[in-house]
């Protein structure tokens, strides 16, 4: 799908931040690498992108690519997802990532029981035939309490002022994680795609919002050129109306081989939201102001 952006779309996107870019390297096929993503982001004036891997600390990628990234027009940030490939709930892995420049810690995604169960009933998760020996990772100890390692992870995140997401954890686990995170002083919390994998009801989302979290919706869920889950844009508009743009962010969740580029996803979704009556100011709040705060580019929460 080729899009010729309107002046309004370009105004909204200038300075936007993508918190969910799936550029490579990755064991899953990627359409672009981090350097290419940074250059492509300049097409619409993105302020920054956060690159995510389910399997490794992307800060190490960025340090290895430091030379080419120096010439890239858009800054790129990384972080670590707490799946079995990095030892699960591993405070050491978190400390290393954040102290080497990371900005985000994702709670378990592909290692979360919720993810494993979901994809067992949805024809699996695309792995290109790789046997990654994925193991389940929980934030709880054998007694059912939030584990000491999880508490330590939240403490390290708080000290760094970094972003903590609920990953693909089930709702009860995300509530328990965020409750501990708030107690430890974490200021930046994000719930991702609550109606995909996570399975959060509106009441659950309200409870998570009450802890100070933002809610991210993914362009990949709605873009017509992405096969799954292919939801109508009205579903996203409904979420925005219920939660409010003040607590909503929009990330691409793109970069995979066969899917649109993240930038093209943003061009499509901003136009779609404007066409459905969402104001330029509100769309900009969701694609620029809120994610910039969550990534630590702006210290103060948008008001």
Write the pLDDT tens digit of every residue in 204-242. 999 999 999 999 999 999 999 997 778 999 999 999 999
pLDDT band at 158 (very low <50, low <70, confident <90, very high): very high
Mean pLDDT of 42-56: 97
Say how many domains are in the chain.
Answer: 1
In a domain, 302, yes or no: no
Tell whether 1 is covered by a domain: no
Q: Which residues in 280-289 are b (16+ Cβ under 10 Å) and which e?
A: eebbbbbbbb
87-106 in b/e form (b: 16+ CB < 10 A) is ebbbbebbbbbbeeebbbbb
What's the token pair of residue 129?
């035939």
- Residue (of 242, 113, 207, 222) closest to 167 by Cα position: 113
Cβ burial, residue 258 (10 Å; 0-12/13-18/19+): exposed
Q: Does residue 131 lie within any of the structural domains?
A: yes
Question: Which domain range does residue 128 map to?
Answer: 7-294
Average pLDDT over residues 58-75: 97
With respect to residue 174, please indicate whether it lies within any of the assigned structural domains: yes
pLDDT at 125: 55
In-domain check, residue 249: yes
- The CA-atom distances, in angstroms, between 21 and each of 24, 109, 120, 234 are 9, 15, 25, 23
- For 35-51, what is the mean pLDDT? 98
Domain with residue 198: its CATH number is: 3.20.20.140
pLDDT tops 50 at residue 128: no
Residue 303 lies in a domain: no
Write phi, then psi, for 223 (nearest 5 degrees): -65, 135
| Verdict on whether the full-model pTM lies above 0.85 | yes
Which of 1-5, 67-71, 161-165, 260-264 is least confident?
A: 1-5
Does 300 reside within a domain? no
pLDDT at 140 over 80: yes
Residue 129 scores a pLDDT above 90: no
What pLDDT score was predicted for residue 131?
57
251 in a domain, yes or no?
A: yes
Q: What share of the chain has pLDDT > 90, as a percent? A: 88
pLDDT of residue 9: 98
pLDDT at 298 > cutoff 60 = yes
């Amino acid at each position: 799908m080729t899009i010729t952006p309107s002046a309004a779309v370009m105004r909204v996107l200038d300075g936007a931040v993508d918190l969910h870019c799936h550029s490579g390297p990755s064991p899953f096929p990627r359409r672009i690498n981090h350097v290419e993503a940074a250059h492509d982001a300049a097409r619409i004036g993105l302020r920054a992108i956060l690159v995510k891997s389910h399997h490794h600390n992307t800060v190490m990628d960025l340090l290895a690519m430091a030379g080419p990234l120096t010439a890239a027009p858009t800054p790129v940030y990384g972080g670590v997802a707490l799946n079995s490939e990095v030892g699960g709930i591993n405070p050491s892995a978190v400390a290393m990532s954040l102290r080497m420049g990371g900005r985000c810690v994702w709670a378990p995604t592909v290692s979360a029981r919720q993810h494993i169960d979901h994809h067992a009933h949805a024809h699996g998760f695309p792995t290109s035939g790789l046997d990654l020996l994925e193991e389940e990772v929980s934030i709880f100890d054998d007694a059912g309490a939030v584990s000491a390692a999880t508490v330590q992870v939240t403490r390290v995140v708080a000290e760094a002022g970094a972003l903590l997401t609920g990953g693909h954890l089930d709702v009860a686990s995300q509530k328990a994680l965020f409750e501990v995170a708030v107690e430890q002083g974490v200021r930046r919390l994000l719930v991702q795609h609550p109606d995909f994998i996570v399975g959060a009801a509106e009441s659950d989302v309200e409870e998570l919002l009450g802890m100070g979290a933002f809610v991210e919706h993914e362009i990949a869920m709605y873009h017509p050129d992405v096969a799954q889950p292919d939801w109508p844009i009205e579903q996203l508009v409904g979420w925005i109306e219920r939660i409010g743009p003040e607590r909503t962010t929009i990330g691409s969740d793109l970069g995979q081989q066969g899917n649109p580029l993240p930038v093209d996803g943003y061009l499509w979704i901003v136009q779609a939201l404007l066409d459905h009556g969402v104001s330029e100011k509100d769309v900009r709040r969701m694609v620029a102001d809120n994610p910039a705060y969550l990534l630590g580019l702006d210290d103060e929460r948008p008001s």
